Amino acid sequence: MSSVRLYAGSATAELGEKIAHSYGKPLGSVELNRFSDGEISVAFTESIRGEHVFLIQSTCPPADNLMELMLMIDAAKRASAEYVNVVIPYFGYARQDRKDRPRVSIAAKLVANIISAAGASRVITCDLHAGQIQGFFDIPVDHLNGITIFAPYIKQLKITPTFAAPDVGGVSRARMYASYFNADLVICDKHRKRANEVASMQVIGDVEGADVILVDDMIDTAGTICRAADILKEKGAKSVRAICTHAILSGNAINNIANSALEEVAVTDTIPPKGDFEKIKVLSVADMFARAIRKINDQESISTLFI
């Protein structure tokens, strides 16, 4: 009878250990080597013939993480694994999901094609930048939701929250939280001159005296979130926090957060934390993914994991 084998790539080795511990099974042994020019070599050091393999790897930068995952998938298929399930806590390149100007690539679709072509049987991921990216895959996609992690955190704050979308594109995500908590929703409408640079922003809704929680799927340079927090404070918000699933935290993100009106930013470990910083609280997705893996392997519905 086939059994579950869990393996983690180098990008999410620590999260892989946590998922394996929560699942109750040790991580399997996979050998990752590099040639002197940096070329990656992958080999499983144990038999996985006929097994249900789960490969855990976020495709965050550098691009070597994506290449490493592709090689792991290929090695598992060539080692005769029955199913190669790919656990991608953070799906990189998701922001490039459409042609928003002439002559650009749709990288999210390309990455989906590569994962399928490499031999993946299924993808399990969390909080895609756009939910419709699931349709880029021709294999099953289990799309988990960060609200499962953040709802208990929000409840322990013991506040009456008002949820805010940091931009128009995040309204549906913020509305889901507002609906669950039966709370008010406001929108921060931003205009960009170029990527990662906000030109202007205005608030749609009343935040006077409110405890506001900004909701987003990722926090990169933190420019949008911090600008929104400062404006919400200016509009009379009592406090401003943020919840962002994927902590990319590039450029001056840490300094931006430290110098902003944000009281706290809650993130998850879908991307390895870059350190222990004041104002940043890291919540783990390990239990959620472990439960999803168990249900998928037992041929059970994962709908019970959703709030």
Active site residues: 190
Contact 194, 235 (CB under 8 A): no
| 221 annotated as ligand-binding | yes
Q: Could you write out the DSSP letters of every residue in 203-269?
A: EES--TT-EEEEEEEEESS-HHHHHHHHHHHHTT-SEEEEEEEEE---TTHHHHHHTSS-SEEEEET
**Residues with Cβ < 8 Å from 306, sequence gap 6 or more?**
144, 145, 148
| 142 annotated as ligand-binding | no
- For 169, the token pair is 């594109």
| 228 annotated as ligand-binding | no
Measure the CA–CA gap between 147 and 166, rounded to whole angstroms: 17
| 216 annotated as ligand-binding | yes
In degrees, rounded to 5, the angle at the alpha carbon of residue 124 between the alpha carbons of residues 122 and 129 is: 120
- φ/ψ (deg, to 5) at 204: -105, 105
Within 10 angstroms of residue 296's Cβ, the number of other Cβ atoms is 21
Q: What is the rounded (10 degree) CA torsion for 68, 71, 76, 78?
A: -170
| 38 annotated as ligand-binding | yes
| 222 annotated as ligand-binding | yes
| 192 annotated as ligand-binding | yes
E strand spans, the chain:
4-8, 30-34, 40-44, 52-56, 83-88, 122-126, 141-144, 161-165, 184-194, 197-204, 211-219, 239-247, 264-268, 280-283
Strands 83-88 and 122-126: parallel
| 16 annotated as ligand-binding | no
**Sequence ranges of the binding site for ATP:** 37-39, 95-96
**Sequence ranges of the binding site for Mg(2+):** 129, 167
**Sequence ranges of the binding site for D-ribose 5-phosphate:** 192, 216, 220-224
**Sequence ranges of the binding site:** 37-39, 95-96, 129, 167, 192, 216, 220-224
